[in-house]
Structure 1
């Protein structure tokens, strides 16, 4: 990985920074002091609201497939496709929310507005479970179905405004030009994921039990109450927040778009002319300026003039290049996103068929096994942040121990291994079903403990500590400052597109393997399905992805930072 110029040398002497911070104000628009604003004090309020929002979101997402196949009577394949479609939409809508936040509303206002929509969507979703599900002839009532999905996608819309802004707003509370706050910001991404995973553990272990054993009204109503409480807590913390001052010049989208337009208009300009201009003006001095050199043509006007408005500055060209460098990294993470989508769909359906009794008379809800992912995250993040990072820092000299791309790559490797384990466990489950004569008895519990699924879930969680947190920090850090909400929405869009690709892949495999009335890989009778083949395919695709990711990451040039 070529360059890691993130926080500077922590051992180097740095000038004493003023107590008054520049570039940020409080909610009244007045200058702020370092000691009375931002930092962990402000981040605590923001992390709290994130925990509640994730509690609400995963309270729906984690058990949605069982609601669709249960009360709504959908097949396993249809339900999995609907879950992937909704999850994909929910992960792509942050692009819209981030655009509105970075261009018009600001992050704070976007969070408040999205939270209000969240509460409305969850209220309607709860109400939809009260309506009659089926008609007198046993068919699912179409108006109820429409109302349910309207409420569900309203939640997705709210999540689109909430998710990219909350984390970016939290990271904004740390001054990257201060060595200590820069280190704290890197830890912020770790402890952010720790806090929301701890909340998620409670969600999956308790809320899924409520949904399966008490009722869906309370199971959807509790997240609504949690989201309303979160909004109140977020508003209480307003006086501690740092708000970035918006630049008065062109907006970031216009600046970056203009670079591409000017470069295209100047396509006839020769590289030698661009080089001469760079040498004459001393432009593009930073390392990596030779990457995407065709954009350097935006430095020169087609008529040879240098009047303002006809050419782009070197800083604007570097902004455009920084965004363009993200594209191959974004694309090579899509297979990881497809793998990620399986934990809330087929992993859960596997658990339904297995022996779920963990205590006499107590059966663990299948969706609650996803809490193992959260538990492994909660247990591993302190180890990573307090042990692995300091040890790695001693060897590499980097404040974060390893680079962000190295961290992401490690997570990809672990996710591939988790798919291999999942394939072997499913082979074991199918063998037990055959040996016990249960192949054609899908509703009979297979005498195989649900704890067999624990390793694949646990490794999933450790992979998330590396890949998910790494992606969050990478896409926040490597975009221009004014586009950090968009940066985080790009990270989320990986999982949105990944969910769509997962749905497409499932549909394609279903059509191919289910021809001529054969049992497909995803047969509703999982004892005749072949999820083991599917997991093996994902493991192979993950290996290819990791190779391509390594190819692009080794030549990636990190964004430089002025101090």
Structure 2
């Protein structure tokens, strides 16, 4: 035993050196400094602060002092989120094809500043024009938020790219994420302590000033930026032209050979050669496409049935972004010496849960299946998130009924921390569904559309915000000027039933995608037999010819 102790001590320096080498290698791979990064990071920081301090909890300001009735305020917030989801796709397309990331950031940030300024004027309660200013500001703020999602991330990643063709794209994205998450998380933390419980007028004023300062600082670093020019040709534009070509040839009966995807057969006509004009003229006008291009568009459009299942998911998400936060104003926000717990705390609970859950799923999928995750596994991950939606509604229903019971019978406000479980479940649902949808997009859609993965994912998951407008209109009798006179618990219960039915619908759609995946892939035994046949058939044919 005495001889073993010195030997054990002898291995310590070697272990320390090995650990140091591993840590150094990790830092060199994931962490890099570029002169442009600090200028971009300040803009990211302010985006995070404004998002969590003002925009995410906008409904609590709109209903402050009964300025807007609850249904109208919820509708405005949901419209803004829905427009943002749509504009994310539009801005990504414009940035890729026409503007480039830098000009897209400049245009969207200027729109964001103008929207925040109009929001400040609306908060001033200007007579006769306050609602008109609010509507315009909602659209401009949505455009500014859309510019953050794709162009700003791509522009930051461009600063870590080099001229080498063999550069590791995973390394570029990892370095981009380190800078992005550090700045954005600092902005989130600042939202808790800086002007957390201030008035709407002061908060919108400070947000405008902060965004202007960050934008000027961003422009100050223009000498250090790598500016990628626009491509002037986008695969999304090609997809539109393929659909247009197929519609224009809808009366043709012939279907070309080589179409291997047995869905959306009508699009196959885009690869038919017409008698006139010439073959080259048809290609130039976008009326003739290769079979491979048509198949890629069909793979993109094959995501539509899955996207439809997320309309109800978007409806619940819209409910969480409006009524969940509004409940905070009707509960006891005291915690010890803290006189008023900020609403942004619950935004952080939801977003941090979503982030942690998505990272855990990503790590587990990468550990067990590597880069090629089976489609049925991805669908199970999404299904787990969809299964959390009715549970979240049930919990919210019980909490709201309990709050009303205490308020009506005892005139007592329950503690605001009763809301933590429903925000946690909402974050759990978002983390599973969003991460799974991105993986599903990359598993089905070809690589030529991979740049639009985050845009399409956010669009499909947030387009349900527009559905909330119809639901609020249909069930308008459940809502009144405030929560105390509304039947919000009944609305949560109805939404829970809808989420459960939608879960069954999703299971049916997921079964279709699993079957399609089984048709597309061949078992290893079949592949082995084909390889043997390819090796044996040519000699056999040669022998038969000689015979």
TM-score category of the 2 structures, normalised to the smaller one = 0.7 to 0.9
More helix by share: 2
Whole-Å separation in 2 of the counterparts to 1:333 and 1:72: 33
Aligned residue number for residue 165 of structure 1: 151
Aligned residue number for residue 310 of structure 2: 333
Aligned residue number for residue 75 of structure 1: 69
CA shift at 1:331, angstroms? 1.9
Change (3 A) 1:478 1:207: farther
The answer to whether 1:243 aligns with 2:228 is yes
Matches within 5 A, 1:200-279: 201-202=188-189, 205-206=192-193, 209-211=196-198, 215-231=199-215, 236=221, 239=224, 241=226, 243=228, 246=231, 251-267=234-250, 269-270=252-253, 274-275=256-257, 278=258
The answer to whether 1:99 aligns with 2:72 is no
Aligned residue number for residue 21 of structure 1: none
Change (3 A) 1:104 1:184: closer
CA shift at 1:416, angstroms? 3.2
How big is each residue's C-alpha offset from its partner over 1:392-422, in whole Å with a ceiling of 9 and x where there is no partner?
4444344669865544333322233222211
Which of structures 1 and 2 has the bigger CA Rg?
A: 2
How big is each residue's C-alpha offset from its partner over 1:133-180, in whole Å with a ceiling of 9 and x where there is no partner?
37xxxxxx21344334433432223334443323455567689x9796
Paired residue for 1:346, among 305, 315, 323?
323
Q: Would the aligned equivalents of 1:190 and 1:469 in 2 still touch at CA under 8 Å?
A: no
Structure 1 unmatched runs, 5+: 1-35, 135-140, 279-283, 439-445, 515-520
Q: Would the aligned equivalents of 1:343 and 1:370 in 2 still touch at CA under 8 Å?
A: no
Larger RCO (alpha carbons 8 Å, 6+ apart): 1
Whole-Å separation in 2 of the counterparts to 1:377 and 1:257: 34
Whole-Å separation in 1 of the counterparts to 2:301 and 2:207: 38
Whole-Å separation in 2 of the counterparts to 1:238 and 1:549: 50
Aligned residue number for residue 549 of structure 1: 506
The answer to whether 1:322 aligns with 2:322 is no
RMSD: 4.1
CA shift at 1:535, angstroms? 1.6
CA shift at 1:107, angstroms? 2.4
Paired residue for 1:294, among 248, 256, 266?
266
Paired residue for 2:117, among 110, 114, 123?
123
Whole-Å separation in 2 of the counterparts to 1:270 and 1:294: 10
The answer to whether 1:491 aligns with 2:457 is yes
**What SS does the corresponding residue of 1:209 show, helix, strand or coil?**
coil
Structure 2 unmatched runs, 5+: 1-27, 283-287, 521-547
The answer to whether 1:313 aligns with 2:261 is no
TM-score after normalising by structure 1: 0.71
Change (3 A) 1:201 1:408: farther
**What SS does the corresponding residue of 2:280 show, helix, strand or coil?**
coil
Aligned residue number for residue 393 of structure 2: 419
| 330-339 or 162-171, larger mean C-alpha shift | 162-171
**What SS does the corresponding residue of 2:289 show, helix, strand or coil?**
coil
